Each structure stands twice: as structure tokens, then as C-alpha cells.
Chain A
Amino acid sequence: MRDVAIIGIGMNKWGELWESRIRDLYVESALAAMDDAGVDHVDSMYVGCMSGGLFVGQEHIGALMADYLGQAPVPATRVESACASGGAAVRLGFMEVASGMSDIVLVGGVEKMTDVDGGGATYALATAADQEYEAFHGVTFPALYAMMARAHMAKFGTTREQLAQVAVKNHENGSKNPKAQFPFKVTLEQVINSTAVADPLCLLDCSPVTDGAAAIVLASVETAKRLGKHQIVKITGSGQASASIAYHSRRDLTFLSSTEKAAQAACKMAGCTPSDVDLFEVHDCFSIAEIMVIEALGLVEPGKGGPATMAGATAIGGEFPVNASGGLKAKGHPVGATGVAQVIELTEQLRGDAGARQVKNARKGLAQNMGGTGASATVHILEVE
């Protein structure tokens, strides 16, 4: 395998983008990434997208985007692993460059979620669970994570306030991110008193429904050096793992085993441990998720994620900053784009371009993206030369 560099990044401002079609969202971000890299063509494309079919009635996203980006006839494939679609697309792009099969690969992610109503979005997202044995019974994604939260609270004494602090911290960070869907702060009281969605989770514990896209350009380090536009940021580790599709089939209802395994694989490839990493972008689809992810990454022991969050360990300037971007919670969660956007945030941070939310002395970053209740997880490690 050869080294792989991130030579370009691009994403649009996320939100409820009524005027934009899914193809426009993608092309805007992809062009921004190609402009950032200084390239006008790519050898190959991967597009993460969870459910074009249910959200906008459009499948065959890869070819559509190659066409509208003016890149046809390059190979273009849509990648789907539920909410980890973006992370899985990054991994495939990484593999294609690392293998030497292509020199410049465009990895994007997109989701257009506001063309359906709330019930339609909840239904589409629930297809990431076991359709016949979870969703059939009326389970929603907030409900599945609410059950994780209740199990975690019962086993470890995790508190309602600790859950809410994840949202408070991520909105604090997101208030400094001009691309975020919700760039404003919230208080513990606002989170706890927001509309109940699935007990004990409330609206402000949940990541939002978002229209958005994100794209990165990957290339060999030789090509990155020849273009010479940016400091060289490399992907040094990539890991992916799976677990049972149904949450109820897990032996431990309070631990995300696929995240642990994906992180172990990525760290082995990069020759480091999570404790060597300076900042983390993780999949906080719900407040409880961030707490369980930092436990699965081994940053804290199981059960200590809530107290560590309350103590400020995960804040910018804390012991291990998590979601400096604002996370899924404040930045938004256009599901297919999320895993790519995490890599964009880390690249900006490692380049030193993150402005008011810059993590000091950031040399190494880790992105963790998760599908379903953790049936899929991807982890990537980035380093700046």
C-alpha cells in the first residue's frame, strides 16, 4: 500500500435547503473540494448516500453525480452503510488510491432529507434497523438510542444532565462553525425541557434532519506534493467493523463493539493508540451515542463517559476534544454526508484553518462514523506531515 493524502475538501452550508436539489447539493460541495485541490478531473468517484430512494425517489446516485459534475465517463459508485455511508465511501476511496489502482479519487457524501415530512424521515431512517424485527414493532432510531441511554443509566448511573451536556458542548462548538445547521448555543435546561421524543431523550438530544453534502479529494502523496497547494494531511489508518443488525441481539446493550473493533484496526494500521490522538470527530447522532463512543474508543472506561463529559474532558481545550465541528448535533446530520464531513473537519483542524474552534497543536485526528445502532462503524486516522 502507498500513502494517501487528502488534497482537497469542500462542503456547503448545511440546513433545510428548500431551493436545492440533491444533485446541486452534491455538485456544489464536490466542486469546492476539486477547487481546493486544484484539479479539474478525477479518476474515480464514490458517493455515500443512505437512502436517495426513500428521501427523494432517486437511486443510481453515483452515475447521476458523475454526470452533473461533468466527470462522466469516470467510474462512479454510490456507497451505502446507513449513517456510516460516508465513512465507508472514504474507506473505499482510500483503498483505491492506496492500492495504486487510481491516482486521484473524489469521495463525496450527500443526503436530501427535507423533501419528506417528519414521519417519512423517521420511517426512512428506521430502515437502518432490522426492518422485520425492530421497525415492524414501531421502533424508531430515537427509541433505539433511548433504550441504550436507559440501559446505560441503569448500569452505570449516567445522569440526564450528563446526556444533555453532550448537546450543550456540541452546540457551543457548533456556534463557531459557519457551515453548521444550528450555529447557536443551548443550555442544560433547554435540552432537558425540550420536547420529548423517546424517553429519556428529548429533541435537543437528537441530531437534526438535514440537507447537505461534503466531498474530499484523495491522491497519492506524490501527486499531493506535485500540486503543492496545502500542507500534506494523510490518512494513516482505516478500520471498519460490523455487529448484529438488531440492537436486541447484542450481548452487551451498553457497549458499541463495532466502534471498538474499527478503532483497533485503524490504530493498528496507523501505529498508534486513541490516546495518541489530539482530536476526535465522532458519531453523536444522539447524546448517549457520544458517551458510548468515547467509551468504545477506550478514551474512558465503560460507564465513565458521562462524568468525563460533565468534567469538560471532551470540550475544545479539554483532555481529548470531541466534535469541535459541533458534531452531528449542531452541524447537522445529512446521513450520507456525515462521515465525509468528519474528515473535512479534521483536515481543517490539522491544516490549522479551523478559526475560532481550532484545537491547539492538532497533529493527529480520528473520525468515527456509525450506521444504525452500531451495526456498522468506520474509523479513520489522519495525520499532518
Chain B
Amino acid sequence: MITARNWRETPQRYRLEAAKCTKCDTIAFPPRIICPECRNREFEKTTLASQGTIETFTVVRVGPSNFVDEVPYAVAVIKLDDGVQLTAQVVDADFDELKIGARVEAEFRKVSQEGAAGILFYGYKFVLAH
């Protein structure tokens, strides 16, 4: 069920919800059941920082079957201001504007679609911060 599989990721993908370990403050994104750092099992809900910095990036010129119509597009590992790293597309920028260290901010966008009915999947993409 592609709808359920994506629906259950909604808090993370739509609202950047994460889980903060009550013992060592490690932020797990997506939320986890056990802390990878201290193995504590208690977390409190938190929301990730919406701005961050490009740690590394590439321009995808040969895409997987569900993104073949999107190429070329840029993807990056982004370190958010709270220290959490994630992978996302960086959009609305010329590729030569992208560089390691560039400041970016999250926006809510369509990410992909799937199936004959073209079910849309939404989530975060990043744009250069101004």
C-alpha cells in the first residue's frame, strides 16, 4: 500500500518532526525507538531547525525509474542548525550557485508521484537562504 507507506511518514516529511533523547539530547530523525548513542528508550517530540548548510551535494543526471522525468536535479546532505543531517533536493537555484557551506532553508514541496493514478507525495526540499 503505497498510500499507507507514505502517510505514516507525514509528521517527519511535512513538519520535520523528530525525537529528542531525554538522556543524551541526541535528536533522531526520523524518530527511533532506541537512542543510537546511549540506548535510552525515552524521547520527547521536537521539531527540526528549518535552516542549515550544504555539507556536500551532487547533480543527478541519470535518475531512478520514479525520477527519470525530473533530471537533472540537485541533491545534498544538509546539516541543519540543530546539528541533524539529512538528504534532500535543493531547488530553484542554478547548479553553479550550489557550493559546500551554502545556507539553505526548508520548503514544503511535491517530491514525487507513483502509480497509474499519479498519487502525489509531498515533503521537504530546500532552497538557498536569502
Contacts and interface: CB of A to CB of B under 8 A. Distances in A.
A50 interface: no
A140 B67 CA distance: 10
Contact of A140 (B64, B78, B100, B125): B64
Contacts of A253: 55-56, 77
Interface residues of A, number: 37
Contact of B65 (A122, A143, A197, A244): A122
A138 B77 contact: no
Contacts of B66: 123, 138
Contact of B57 (A117, A122, A147): A147
A133 B85 CA distance: 11
A196 B62 CA distance: 8
B63 interface: yes
Contacts of A197: 61-62
B38 interface: no
B113 interface: no
Contact of B58 (A120, A126, A150, A248): A150
A138 B86 contact: no
- Main secondary structure, interface of B, reads strand
A382 interface: no
Contacts of A138: 60, 63-64, 66-67, 70, 73, 75, 89, 111-112
B87 interface: yes
B68 interface: yes
Give chain A's interface secondary structure class. helix
Given A138-B112, A197-B61, A198-B60, A147 B30 contact: no
A249 interface: yes
A147 B100 CA distance: 10
B81 interface: no
B62 A122 contact: yes
A228 interface: no
Contacts of A249: 85
B59 interface: yes
Contacts of A148: 56
A151 B62 CA distance: 20
B128 interface: no
Given A143-B75, A151-B55, A120 B87 contact: no
A200 B66 CA distance: 23
A201 B57 CA distance: 12
Contacts of B78: 248
B16 interface: no
Interface in A117-152: 117-120, 122-123, 126, 132-140, 142-143, 146-148, 150-151
A154 B61 contact: no
A381 interface: no
A147 B85 contact: no
A46 interface: no
A246 B87 CA distance: 9
A222 interface: no
A247 interface: yes
B76 interface: yes
Interface centre among B55, B58, B61, B88 (most CB of A within 10 A): B58
Given A134-B87, A248-B85, A140 B62 contact: yes
Contacts of A137: 75, 87-89, 111, 123, 125
25 contacts: A119-B65, A120-B65, A122-B65, A123-B66, A126-B64, A132-B9, A132-B30, A136-B111, A136-B123, A137-B123, A138-B66, A143-B58, A143-B60, A143-B75, A147-B58, A150-B56, A150-B58, A150-B100, A151-B77, A198-B58, A199-B59, A247-B87, A248-B78, A253-B56, A253-B77
Given A122-B62, A136-B121, A139-B87, 15 more contacts: A119-B68, A126-B64, A133-B30, A137-B87, A137-B111, A138-B64, A138-B67, A140-B62, A146-B58, A147-B77, A154-B56, A198-B59, A199-B61, A199-B95, A248-B55
